[in-house]
Amino acid sequence: MAGKDKLFIFDTTLRDGEQSPGASMTREEKVRIAKALEKMRVDIIEAGFPAASTGDFESVRAVAQAVRDSTVCGLARAKDVDIDRAGEALKAANSARIHTFLATSPIHMQYKLKMSPDEVLTQAVAAVKRARQWTDNVEFSPEDAGRSELDFLCRVIEAVIDAGARTINIPDTVGYNIPQQFGELMRNLIERVPNSDKAVFSVHCHNDLGVAVANSLAAVLNGARQVECTINGLGERAGNAALEEIVMAVRTRQDVFPCDTTLDTTQIVPCSRLVSSITGFPVQPNKAIVGANAFAHESGIHQDGVLKHRDTYEIMRAQDVGWSENRIVLGKHSGRNAFRTRLKDLGIEFQSEEELNEAFARFKELADKKHEIFDEDLQALVSEATMALDSEQLKLVSMRVCSETGETPVANVTLSVDGAERGGQAEGSGPVDAAFKAIETIVPSGTRLLLYSVNNITSGTDAQGEVTVRLEKAGRIVNGQGADTDIVIASAKAYLNALNRLVMPDRRAHPQRGDV
């Protein structure tokens, strides 16, 4: 990195990522992801939107307490009440940032805000000044900058820098921009705003046209020195720019970029897995960097080339982004200490002995069925164990499913419902369908199944299947996940996990629609 500028990585998986339908996370899950991001040496972690609800406030506070090395950021609309909530939530942070925003595009000002440009400018300045009463580290975003008028954008940015904003983030909120144009916008802003040297310019792109990463990189080539992004490109609609793609593009093409990040890229794949298993958003196999096929050389010609000389077809090394050969890490005879130590290496620490005991009991159960336990199995197991302790209303006690050629599958399920055991039976078109219907006879949920998918966590027929179920009820969408060596049991667990999430309060309030 000698002689190069630093490119700051601002991760917003816990805020913009959580705005994805069904990606709502609990406080404990947010802390786990934040710790993984810290381990990856992400510079700034946007932990949430504290004014949305008490739950969001508490999550940001918990992340601010847990994280020491990264800056923890809270989002706030340009309103005193939001800014003060963010300031309060971040009090315990070692390094805190308040990110405040206000829309500047004609369409947002006229229809959403119903404010004149002058009113917007005044409110933006007031918001930044208010935030500066809490911290020197204030970021301002002119929302929908990608569709704003250049002259007005320059006026707002100059004024908020004068008011004390030290990071100016340029969002393409609706994913409308195209790389060349967006790069020019960034260059024009930096050139035209007289005090632009007093702030770091940042970029925040959505992927509606599939060019969020390309737009972000164009902005970097034109002077942006912070990128806002999410793990696996998680985010509402088509998502945000994917952290792993930005970081690896810049790292791999140092001949092109005048800057680099200080991230530990070997943490990318473990972090991607963690986010996927917590949110229930599977990673597509052909996804760049973190997809299962990203480094698989299927075709004979490619394999031959790679064997002769790696660079013939490989531009990055799988190990550099954290892909490792599936290593057997633990087995049937591993004890509690080995278990605890291996999890610690994976960045997982238990809040209580009770959590450790629950996870260890599940580990022993799994080791009885599957002799070789990999890191990926451990991640899934810990997700389940912590969820089980999150006072789940519904738990799977036992299940029996009969599936035979020429016969209709039948499932018998026993659940614990608020501590009381109840049983149900149903037929279905297949064993999974029968299991879901049997659960519905016990707890009729009135939900609609939007998605059902199975992925194997590791390879081999004894691998655990990880099932994702997405349910919808009255406009609310939740994801559930379950893992087991038996995919019908994994499916039932995932279904129950989604139902359990449905009864939890919805904290996924939307900062940008004014519906809080």
List of residues contacting ligand KIV (CB under 6 A): 16, 101, 141, 143, 169, 171, 173, 204, 206, 512
Q: How far apart are the first and last CA of the chain?
A: 43
User: Nearest approach, Cβ of 344 to ligand KIV (angstroms)?
Assistant: 34
Q: Which stretch binds Zn ion (CB under 5 A): 11-19, 162-170, 214-222, 407-415?
A: 11-19
Closest CA to 14 of 490, 338, 38: 38
DSSP per residue, 76-113: EESSHHHHHHHHHHTTT-SSEEEEEEEE-SHHIIIIII
Q: For residue 75, give both structure tokens.
A: 């989002």
- 99 annotated to a ligand binding site: no
Contact of residue 141 among Zn ion, ligand KIV, none (CB under 5-8 Å per partner type): ligand KIV
Task: Tell whether residue 108 is among the known ligand binding residues.
Answer: no
Taking contact as CB under 5 A, which single stretch among the options 14-22, 147-155, 254-262, 299-307 is the one that binds Zn ion?
A: 14-22
Strand 96-103 to strand 259-260: parallel, antiparallel, or no bridges (unpaired)? unpaired
Contact indicator for 383, 277 with CB cutoff of 8 Å = yes
Backbone angles phi, psi at 409, to 5 degrees: -65, 145
State the chain's maximal CA–CA distance in angstroms.
77
- H-only helix segments in 330-445: 336-345, 353-369, 375-389, 431-442
CB of 228 to ligand KIV, least distance (A): 7
Nearer to ligand KIV, 172 or 375 (CB): 172
Nearer to Zn ion, 16 or 244 (CB): 16
Of 186 and 432, the one with the shorter C-beta distance to Zn ion is: 186
Q: Least distance from C-beta 127 to ligand KIV, angstroms?
A: 13
Q: Which residues pair with 76 in a beta bridge?
A: 100
Using the contact rule CB under 5 A, the part of the chain among 15-23, 42-50, 275-283, 378-386 near Zn ion is 15-23
Report in angstroms how near the CB of residue 123 gets to ligand KIV at its nearest.
15
Q: How far is the CB of 446 from ligand KIV (least distance, A)?
A: 32
Q: Order across the sheet with 465-473: list the strands.
A: 448-456, 465-473, 476-484
Phi and psi at 333, nearest 5°, equal: -95, 0
16 contributes a contact to Zn ion by CB under 5 A? yes
Name the residue nearer to ligand KIV (CB basis): 92 or 509: 509
What, of ligand KIV, Zn ion, none, does residue 458 touch, CB below 5 to 8 Å by kind?
none
- 16 vs 377, beta carbon nearer Zn ion: 16
Residue 366, token pair as written in the block: 């799994």
Residue 420 to residue 489: CA distance in whole angstroms: 20
Least distance in angstroms from the C-beta of 56 to ligand KIV: 14
DSSP 108: I
Asked if 130 and 80 touch (Cβ cutoff 8 Å), the reply is yes
Candidate ranges 16-24, 72-80, 195-203, 335-343; the one touching Zn ion (CB under 5 A): 16-24
419, with CB counted inside 10 A (0-12, 13-18, 19+), is exposed
- Rounded Cα distance, 225 and 260, in Å: 9
Question: From the list Zn ion, ligand KIV, none, which binds 101 (C-beta under 5 to 8 Å, kind-based)?
Answer: ligand KIV
Q: Which stretch binds Zn ion (CB under 5 A): 12-20, 45-53, 81-89, 399-407?
A: 12-20
Please enumerate in sequence order all residues whose Cβ is within 8 A of that of 118, keeping only pairs 6 or more positions apart, or say none.
none
Instruction: Find which of Zn ion, ligand KIV, none residue 323 binds, CB within 5 to 8 Å per kind.
Output: none
Nearer to Zn ion, 167 or 458 (CB): 167
| Cβ closest to ligand KIV, residue 230 vs residue 447 | 230
Q: Which residue, 16 or 384, has its beta carbon nearer to Zn ion?
A: 16
CB-nearer residue toward ligand KIV: 18 or 143: 143
Interface with Zn ion includes 139 (CB under 5 A)? Answer: no
Q: What Å distances lie between residue 511 and 20, 77, 115, 231, CA to CA?
A: 13, 7, 18, 20
Query: Is 302 flagged in the annotation as binding?
Result: no
Q: According to the annotation, is 206 in a ligand binding site?
A: yes
Residues 410-469 that bind Zn ion (CB under 5 A): none
Instruction: Please report how the helices 375-389 and 353-369 are oriented relative to each other, as an axis angle in degrees rounded to 10.
Output: 130
Q: Which residue is nearest to Zn ion (CB)?
A: 16
- What string of DSSP letters covers 223-272? T--EEEEBGGG--STT-B-BHHHHHHHHHHTTTT-SEE----GGGHHHHH
Work out how close the CB of 144 gets to ligand KIV at its nearest, in angstroms, rounded to a whole number: 6
Q: How far is the CB of 47 from ligand KIV (least distance, A)?
A: 14
Interface contacts to Zn ion, rule CB under 5 A: 16
Q: Which residues are annotated binding-site positions for Mn(2+)?
A: 16, 204, 206, 240
Q: Which residues are annotated binding-site positions?
A: 16, 204, 206, 240
